[in-house]
Amino acid sequence: MVDASNPFSGIKASKVILPIIIGLGAVAFMFVREFDPRAFDSMVFTWRSVLFLFLACLLMLGRDLGYMIRIRVLANGQLSWIQSFRVIMLWEFTSAVTPSAIGGTSVAILFLNKEGISLGRSSAAVLATSFLDELYFVLMFPLLLLIVNVNKMFSIGDHTGFLNEFFWFAAIGYSVKLAYTIVVAYGLFFNPRGLKWLLLQFFRLSFLRRWRHNINDAGYEIIQSSRELVRKPFKFWLKAFGATFFSWTSRYWTVNMILLAFFVIPGFGQHFLIFARQLVMWIMQLIAPTPGGSGFAEYIFTRYLGDLIPVSDVAIAGSVAIALALIWRLISYYPYLIVGAFIVPKWISDKFTPSKKSKE
C-alpha cells in the first residue's frame, strides 16, 4: 500500500502520455497542413549530422549536470551525486507533465525532504534555485536586447519590433519573472517571516494542502535556513549561480548544435541571435497551458526560429522548421518523460511504501 501523501498519486499514465500526444499531434498537424517533402532534400544526414546531434545531447546532459552541482551546493553537500540525479530527474519529470507556469517547483521541496534534507532547508534550497533561475533570465534578457537589435530579435515576416505579438508575449513574461524574482529575493534575504507566510499561502493549493501543516511546523527552520543563506560567502553564491549559468546556457546552445547538424550558420552573430531567441521562447512558454508546453513549444519554434534556418528555398523553410522542432523536442523534452517513467515507480516504492520506510 502506498502512502497517501505520495505527491505522484494524482499522476496517472494518461498524464504522462498526454504531453506526448499533444506535442506529436501538433507536429503532425503542422506536417499535414504545410509540410513540403522537398524539405528532406535540405536536411542531408551525414557524419557531420551525427557529430552535432551528439553534441546537442551532450549539452542537454551538461544542463542536468549544472542542476545537480547547484542542488548539491544549496544542500550544503548533504546530497550524494546519485541523490542529486534522482531529485533533478523527478523535478524535470514533474515539469514535463504539468503546465509550464506550474512546473516541478511546487513538489521539489518534497523530493529533497524525502532524500533526507529537512523540510525547512529543502524549502530554502528550492526557493534559492527558483531565484537563481529567474535571476538568469532577468539579467540575460536586457543584456541580449543591448547586444541584439530589437528588430532582429522579434521580426517575423512583415511584423517587426513592437508590432510583433512575440514582443508582447516576451514583455509580459519578463514582467512576471521580474516581479517573482523581487518577491523571492525579498523573502530570502530581507524578510524570511514573510516568506514563510507566502509559502503557507502557496500550500493552500488543493494538491498541496495536505502538507500545509508540515510547512507551518517547519516555519522556524525556514527562517533559520534563510538566515543561513544570507550569511553564505560570495563564493557560495558564485558557485550556485555559475552552475545555473552553465545549465541554462547549455540548454540554449542545444538548438544551435541541431541547426549545425544540417546547415552552415554564417557567423557568431547569427548563433548569438538564435541563442537570444531561445531565451525569449522560454519566457513565452510561461503562458502555455499544456503539460511541458507541449504543442505550444513546437509552434513557437517553427514560427520564431523558422526564419533563422539558412535554407536556399524560402518556400520550404517552414517545413524544415517543423522537422527540426521535432528533433529538438526529441532531444530536450521526451527523454525526461522516459527517464521519469523508470525512476518514479521505484522512488515511490522506496519512499512511500510503509514496510520499506519502517526499515529505514
User: What local confidence, expressed as pLDDT, does residue 1 receive?
Assistant: 35
User: What local confidence, expressed as pLDDT, does residue 88 receive?
Assistant: 93
Q: Is residue 39 packed enough to be buried (19+ CB in 10 Å), middle (13-18) or exposed (0-12)? A: buried
User: What cell was used for 151?
Assistant: 528588430
The answer to whether 48 and 261 have CB atoms below 8 angstroms apart is yes
User: What local confidence, expressed as pLDDT, does residue 3 receive?
Assistant: 46
User: What local confidence, expressed as pLDDT, does residue 191 receive?
Assistant: 79
User: What local confidence, expressed as pLDDT, does residue 58 receive?
Assistant: 96
Amino acid in the structure at residue 153: M
Amino acid in the structure at residue 212: R
Q: Cα 121 vs. chain centroid, distance in angstroms?
A: 22
The answer to whether 305 and 255 have CB atoms below 8 angstroms apart is yes
What's the pTM value of the predicted model, to 2 decimals?
Answer: 0.82
Dihedral of CA atoms 18, 20, 22, 28 in degrees, nearest 10, equals: -150
User: What local confidence, expressed as pLDDT, does residue 4 receive?
Assistant: 42
CA distances from 72 to 81, 126, 127, 241 (A): 8, 12, 14, 13
The answer to whether 284 and 170 have CB atoms below 8 angstroms apart is yes
Q: Cα 80 vs. chain centroid, distance in angstroms?
A: 22
Cβ neighbours for 57, distance < 8 A, ≥ 6 positions apart = 331
Amino acid in the structure at residue 109: I
User: What local confidence, expressed as pLDDT, does residue 359 receive?
Assistant: 47
Cα–Cα distance measured from residue 319 to residue 102, given in angstroms and rounded to the nearest whole number: 31
Per-residue pLDDT of the chain (360 residues; tens, 9 = 90+): 334 455 555 555 555 566 666 666 766 666 666 666 666 677 778 899 999 999 999 999 999 999 999 999 998 889 999 999 999 998 888 887 776 655 566 678 888 888 888 877 887 888 889 889 999 999 998 888 888 877 777 766 555 555 666 777 778 888 888 988 888 788 778 877 777 777 677 667 665 666 566 666 656 666 776 777 888 888 999 999 999 999 999 999 999 999 999 988 887 788 888 888 888 888 777 766 666 677 778 788 887 887 888 877 666 777 788 888 889 988 988 888 888 878 877 777 777 665 555 444
The answer to whether 295 and 26 have CB atoms below 8 angstroms apart is yes
Chain position carrying cell 523573502: 187
User: What cell was used for 177?
Assistant: 519573472
